[in-house]
Each structure stands twice: as structure tokens, then as C-alpha cells.
């Protein structure tokens, strides 16, 4: 009989989290920096070592792994991802062989969505949508009581909904993706460019010194301090995010929309602005029973979801 506890791993661009999870509760958690320079082998070794430590000599009932990238679940590949881009590496197979456990591999936000659905903000619902706004924008959905996976496991890339056909170029190669407007990396790049181009923009951000060091956190901090320019940046993010959220509501008719991630929570009032504006924009018929929520599992949604999906 397999153990009742399973292991969930969340491999982000900078942080790796691992947990032993029982009944949706992370009973032991490890956090470390992702060994990006070590490449896929380095990361697999990190996972092996974490599984070892969490198992305490016992055998886990399953292993789920979420990773920041576009996964091909049919072949266990990580096809595309800003830092973790190993298109031809059989990552799922490597994980399974290193740990001795069949690894269930998915996108990190897919895993977080599953966690929030089973044990978090979406518990009890049958139709739920998640947007996680961080360096990029990830998404996930539960549809009719099933996790959205897509034909090859790439479903849920809601950050690549274009909200403006002629908008700014996104890293994916098309224009106006909501990630191009409100993903941390893109918004910081735009702010750095605007400050460099226009010396009349007077802002606390410029006072900080080296423009090259400005990131989404710096911009959010300036907005918290009431900087006019940073607040305008936030307003633009809110409008783009609201458009993508409303389009997703119209497409999927969920009862719960979860808006999370460090960039979403870092800017003052951004969550409230997006929640209010999305409900204004979407179809009246989609409003029945609809609520917009913050995530409730914090940065452990991914490991809880991964560990729980591994039970199936």
C-alpha cells in the first residue's frame, strides 16, 4: 500500500520549494535557490536530495513537480521557459530515474491552480481560473471539476492572451499580451526605457540611482510611497489585467477567479482595481455567483498542488 503522504516540488526561476504533503497540509517544507547554473542535471540533483530529506527513509506515495516553463506532459519535456529552457531534455524521465518515483510533471502555475482548488481559495468550486502575476504571468483553470491541461499539457497560458493587437511586443513574439503589460520583467523593462527616454519624468525611481537596477519590486515600492509615475504604471497594468481576466471569464464562466503572485500583491490596491474592473467588463450573464479572490495558500500552493496531483 502506498504511503498516504506525497512530495510536491515547485521549481521556479529563482526559488525551489519542496514539501512533504499529507491531506493537503505541507507537514515539512524545504526552500532553496534554484540551481540554474547547474542546468537540468543540477536541478534534478536538487530534487533528488530534497526527496531524500523529506522521505526520512520512508517511501513517498507519489512525486509531483511543477516547473516555470511550458511543459509537454506527453513526453515529459520542458519546451520553453525563460531560465529553465531545456527543449530536448527528458526532464520527467530524469526526475523519475533519480528519485525512483514516477514524476508527475506540469507547469508551476498549473500545479498552484490545482492546489488552490483542492485546498485553497477555490475549494468547493467546479469552475475556477487563476492568474499569477510575477516575473511573467502564468495561469490555470479548473473546468467542470477537471484541471485544464490541454492536449499536450500546455493549457492555461493566460499570460499570453493579447489584450491589444497593436500593443507592445511580448517575449513570445506577438503584440499586446497581458504579460507584456503587467509581467514583472516586461513592466520593469518598459519603466527603465521610459525613464531613459524622457528626463522630464520626475520620479522617486530616478532618485534611487542606477536605472538598470530598477525591477518590478522597485516600481511597486515607489507606488506604495505614492510616486505619481509609478501609480500610473500600476493603472496601466490594472487595465490590461482586467481585460484579460474579463475575456477569460467570458470564455470559461467560472465562479472563482484567483488573482495572485508577487507583482499582483506588491502594488497598492492592484488586486482591488483588477477585481472591480474585471466585473465591470465581463458579460452580465457571467456574474452570477462569481467571486474574485486572493490565493490562500501563499507560496506553497504549487507544492500542495503538485503533491496532490501526484496522488491520482
- Shortest reach from residue 88's CB to a second copy, in Å: 14
Q: State the cell numbers at 260.
A: 495572485
Pairing of strands 291-293, 15-22: unpaired
Residue 61 or 155: which CB sits closer to a second copy? 155
Residue 212 or 280: which CB sits closer to a second copy? 280
Contact between 135 and 185 under an 8 Å Cβ cutoff? The reply is yes
Please state, in angstroms and rounded to a whole number, the distance separating the CA atoms of residues 60 and 22.
11
- Shortest reach from residue 23's CB to a second copy, in Å: 26
Residue 162 has φ and ψ, to the nearest 5°, of -85, 130
SS3 (DSSP) at 12: coil
Q: List, in sequence order, every residue forming a beta bridge with 21; answer none if it has no partner.
A: 6, 26
- Shortest reach from residue 141's CB to a second copy, in Å: 8
Q: Residues near 188 by Cβ (< 8 Å), separated by ≥ 6?
A: 214, 215, 216, 218, 219
- Shortest reach from residue 2's CB to a second copy, in Å: 25
- Shortest reach from residue 55's CB to a second copy, in Å: 32
Number of other CB atoms surrounding residue 13 within 10 Å:
19
Residue 164 or 265: which CB sits closer to a second copy? 164
Residue 11 or 147: which CB sits closer to a second copy? 147
Number of other CB atoms surrounding residue 95 within 10 Å:
26
For residue 216, the Cα-to-chain-centroid distance in whole angstroms is: 15
Q: Which helix (H) or strand (E) holds 28?
A: strand 25-33
Q: List, in sequence order, every residue forming a beta bridge with 7; answer none if it has no partner.
A: 20, 63
Residue 245 or 303: which CB sits closer to a second copy? 245
Residue 153 or 302: which CB sits closer to a second copy? 153
Note the residues at the interface with a second copy (CB under 8 A): 70, 72, 79-80, 125-127, 139, 141, 143-144, 146, 148-158, 160-166, 172-174, 176, 239-240, 243, 246-248, 250-255, 281-286, 288-290
Please state, in angstroms and rounded to a whole number, the distance separating the CA atoms of residues 196 and 285.
45
- Shortest reach from residue 63's CB to a second copy, in Å: 22
- Shortest reach from residue 269's CB to a second copy, in Å: 19
User: Which residue pairs from 88-93 have beta carbons closer than 8 angstroms and sit at least 24 positions apart in sequence?
Assistant: 89/40, 91/40, 91/44, 91/67, 92/65
Residue 31 or 80: which CB sits closer to a second copy? 80
Amino acid at each position: 500500500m502506498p504511503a498516504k503522504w506525497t512530495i510536491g516540488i515547485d521549481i521556479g526561476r529563482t526559488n525551489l520549494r519542496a514539501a512533504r504533503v499529507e491531506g493537503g497540509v505541507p507537514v515539512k517544507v524545504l526552500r532553496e535557490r534554484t540551481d540554474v547554473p547547474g542546468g537540468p542535471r543540477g536541478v534534478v540533483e536538487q530534487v533528488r536530495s530534497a526527496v531524500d530529506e523529506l522521505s526520512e527513509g520512508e517511501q513517498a506515495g507519489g512525486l509531483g513537480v511543477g516547473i516555470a516553463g511550458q511543459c509537454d506532459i506527453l513526453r515529459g519535456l520542458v519546451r520553453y521557459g525563460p531560465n529553465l529552457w531545456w527543449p530536448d531534455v527528458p526532464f520527467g524521465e530524469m526526475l523519475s530515474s533519480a528519485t525512483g518515483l514516477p514524476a508527475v510533471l506540469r507547469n508551476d502555475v498549473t500545479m498552484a491552480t490545482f492546489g488552490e482548488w483542492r485546498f485553497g481559495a477555490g475549494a468547493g468550486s467546479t469552475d475556477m481560473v487563476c492568474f499569477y502575476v510575477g516575473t511573467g504571468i502564468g495561469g490555470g483553470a479548473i473546468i467542470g471539476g477537471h484541471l485544464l491541461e490541454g492536449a499536450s499539457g500546455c493549457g492555461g497560458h493566460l499570460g499570453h492572451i493579447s489584450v491589444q493587437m497593436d500593443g507592445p511586443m511580448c517575449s513570445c513574439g506577438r503584440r499586446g499580451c497581458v504579460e507584456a503589460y503587467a509581467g514583472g520583467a516586461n513592466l520593469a523593462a518598459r519603466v527603465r526605457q521610459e525613464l531613459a527616454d524622457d528626463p522630464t519624468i520626475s520620479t522617486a525611481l530616478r532618485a534611487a540611482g542606477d536605472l538598470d537596477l530598477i525591477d518590478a519590486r522597485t516600481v511597486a515600492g515607489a507606488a506604495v510611497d505614492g510616486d505619481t509615475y509609478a501609480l500610473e504604471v500600476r493603472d496601466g497594468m490594472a487595465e490590461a489585467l482586467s481585460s484579460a481576466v474579463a475575456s477569460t471569464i467570458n470564455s470559461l464562466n467560472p465562479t472563482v477567479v484567483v488573482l495572485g503572485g508577487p507583482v499582483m500583491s506588491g502594488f497598492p490596491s492592484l488586486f482591488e482595481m483588477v477585481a472591480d474592473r474585471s466585473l465591470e467588463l465581463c458579460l452580465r450573464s457571467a456574474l452570477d455567483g462569481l467571486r474574485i479572490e486572493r490565493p490562500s495558500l501563499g507560496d506553497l500552493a504549487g507544492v500542495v498542488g503538485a503533491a496532490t496531483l501526484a496522488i491520482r
